[in-house]
Amino acid sequence: MADEEFYRIKRLPPYVFAEVNRLKARYRAEGMDIIDFGMGNPDMDTPRHIVDKLIETVQRPRTHRYSASKGIPGLRRAQAGYYARRFGVSVDPETEVVATLGSKEGLANLAMAITAPGDVMLVPNPSYPIHPYGFMIAGGTLRHVPALHDGRFDPEEYLRALDRAVLHSVPKPVAVVVSFPSNPTAQVCDLDFYRDLIAFAKKHHLWVLSDLAYSEVYFDDNPPPSILQVDGAKDVAVEFTSLSKTYSMPGWRMGFAVGNRRLIDALTRIKSYLDYGAFTPVQVAAAAALNGPQECVAEIRSIYKHRRDVLIDSMARAGWQIPSPPATMFAWAPVPKPFEAIGSMGFSKILLREAEVAVAPGVGFGEYGEGYVRLGLVENEQRIRQAARGVKKVLANADALVERYRAEEEAEVVS
Enumerate residues 6+ apart whose C-beta is below 8 A from 225. 87, 189, 190, 191, 194
Q: What is the pLDDT of residues 370-408, one digit of tens each?
A: 999 999 999 999 999 999 999 999 999 999 999 999 998
The predicted pLDDT at position 14 comes to: 72
pLDDT of the residue at 188: 97
pLDDT band at 5 (very low <50, low <70, confident <90, very high): confident
C-alpha–C-alpha distance, residues 61 and 84, integer Å: 33
Residue 409 has pLDDT above 90, yes or no: no
Mean pLDDT of the 252-276 span: 95
Q: Supply the pLDDT for residue 6.
A: 85
Residue 410 has what pLDDT?
84
Determine the average pLDDT of the residues in 105-121. 95
Question: Which helix (H) or strand (E) is 407 found in, with range?
Answer: helix 398-414
Give the ranges where 12-150 is alpha helix by DSSP (H).
17-29, 48-58, 73-87, 102-114, 130-137
Q: In the beta sheet, which residues pair with residue 125?
A: 146
Question: CB-based burial of residue 42 (10 Å sphere; 0-12 exposed, 13-18 middle, 19+ buried)?
Answer: buried
Query: What confidence score (pLDDT) does residue 209 get?
Result: 98
Task: Report, as an integer, the average pLDDT of 332-350.
Answer: 96
| pLDDT score at 355 | 97
Q: What is the pLDDT of residue 20?
A: 85
The end-to-end CA distance of the chain, in Å, is 30
pLDDT at 222 over 70: yes
CB neighbours of residue 50 within 10 Å? 24
Region 267-294 average pLDDT: 95
Predicted confidence band of residue 1 (pLDDT cuts 50, 70, 90):
low
pLDDT surpasses 90 at 16: no
Q: Which residue has the higher pLDDT, 177 or 1?
A: 177
Q: Name all domains of the chain by residue range, CATH numbers in brackets.
A: 7-45+295-414 (3.90.1150.10), 48-293 (3.40.640.10)
pLDDT of 58 strictly over 80: yes
For residue 415, name the pLDDT band (cuts at 50, 70, 90).
low
What's the rounded Cα separation, in Å, for the pair 406 and 246? 42
pLDDT for the residue 345:
94
In whole angstroms, give the CA distance from residue 5 to residue 61. Answer: 44
Reply yes or no on whether the pLDDT at 220 is more than 80.
Answer: yes
The predicted model gives 353-377 an average pLDDT of 96
pLDDT of 327 strictly over 80: yes
Residue 39: per-residue pLDDT? 86
**Which position has the higher pLDDT, 94 or 9?**
94
Percentage with pLDDT > 70 across the chain:
99
Q: What integer best gives the mean pLDDT of the chain?
A: 95
Find all residues with CB under 8 Å of 413, minimum gap 6, and list them: none
CA 206/CA 172 separation, integer angstroms:
9
Rounded distance, CA 350 to CA 176, Å? 36
- Percent of the chain with pLDDT strictly greater than 90: 89
pLDDT band at 414 (very low <50, low <70, confident <90, very high): low
CB 79 within 8 A of CB 290: yes
- Judged by DSSP in three states, 59 sits in coil
CA distance 189 to 147: 12
Residue 255: which pLDDT band, with cuts at 50, 70 and 90?
A: very high
**Residue 395 φ/ψ region, left for φ over 0, alpha for ψ in the -120 to 50 degree band, beta for the rest:** alpha
105 close to 113: Cβ distance less than 8 angstroms? no
pLDDT band for position 108 (50/70/90)? very high
β-bridge partners, 120: 141
